[in-house]
Amino acid sequence: MVTNRKTAAITLPARDRAGRERAVLDAIGRIILRDGLSGVGVNALAREAGVDKVLIYRYFGDLDGVYAAFAERGDFWWTVDEILGDPRPDPKAMTHAELLKCVLRRHGEGIRKRPVTLAVIAAEPANRTALVVALEEVRERRSLELAAWISERYPAPEGVDVTAIGMIAGAAIDYLAGRARNIRVYGGIEIKTDKNWERIYSAIDQMIDGMFPPSTRKARR
């Protein structure tokens, strides 16, 4: 009978396991916001999630498995579907320039509403932890998926490196959004307010317009 009780304690119902896995992954975000990237570890996760650390290894294999599962969750980084929307853009109804403006705006809005993402962006250059690497891999993969979808349907103007320009604009958004967690003004512009983010997006729109001939900037409705 003792053996049976032990077995029952180990073999949890599926819904209990799912809930505990979710509790562990949710705990990562809270630890990052409170203690920073360096505060994330198996003991801290177990305490924060209210589970035995043995369960963490059983469910995820190891700490890298926890990081990989957290990185894949859509609440850390946007998905391609989130950026492109439903239905997907139609090249006949939306020009390349219009699409890039929309993508960069949605990128900015997507990360600005994710406090954990902003905390990671702000801290990751000085904290190359296993968690940061896992998050970076997912971020890069989704960015490449997005770039591939766009390039298959929207040929780049001759002599224009659209991918690199998009990367530079996206990196600028990441940097400013991450900085806005702790500072109010950058380069004379308030970077905490939605009003001034509209100013930033408008400036990016102007740069994108400069890449394309005037006749190709707007689709015929």
Residue after which a domain boundary falls, among 35, 50, 72? 72
Q: Check whether residue 148 and residue 49 sit in a common domain.
A: no
Instruction: Mark whether 61 and 102 lie in a shared domain.
Output: no
pLDDT at 83 over 50: yes
What pTM does this model have? 0.86
Q: Are residues 59 and 93 in the same domain?
A: no
Q: Are 45 and 53 contacting, i.e. CB atoms less than 8 angstroms apart?
A: yes
- At 185-212, the pLDDT tens digits run 999 999 999 999 999 999 999 999 998 8
Question: Which tokens hold the place of 138?
Answer: 């997912």
CB 64 within 8 A of CB 134: yes
The domain boundary, picked from 52, 72, 92, lies at 72
> pLDDT band at residue 157, thresholds of 50, 70 and 90?
confident
Q: How confident is the model at residue 214 (pLDDT cuts 50, 70, 90)?
A: confident
- Beta-strand runs (E) in the chain: 185-186, 189-190
Q: CATH number of the domain that 169 lies in?
A: 1.10.357
DSSP conformational letter for 38: G
Sort 82 into a burial class: Cβ within 10 Å, 0-12 / 13-18 / 19+: middle
The counts of H helices and E strands in the chain are 11, 2
Answer yes or no: do 195 and 169 share one domain: yes
Going by pLDDT thresholds of 50, 70 and 90, the confidence category of residue 219 is: low
- pLDDT digit string (tens) for 114-156? 999 999 999 999 999 999 999 999 999 999 999 999 999 999 8
Q: Residue 14 pLDDT more than 90?
A: no
Residue 64 DSSP one-character state: H
Confidence of residue 159 (pLDDT cuts 50, 70, 90): confident
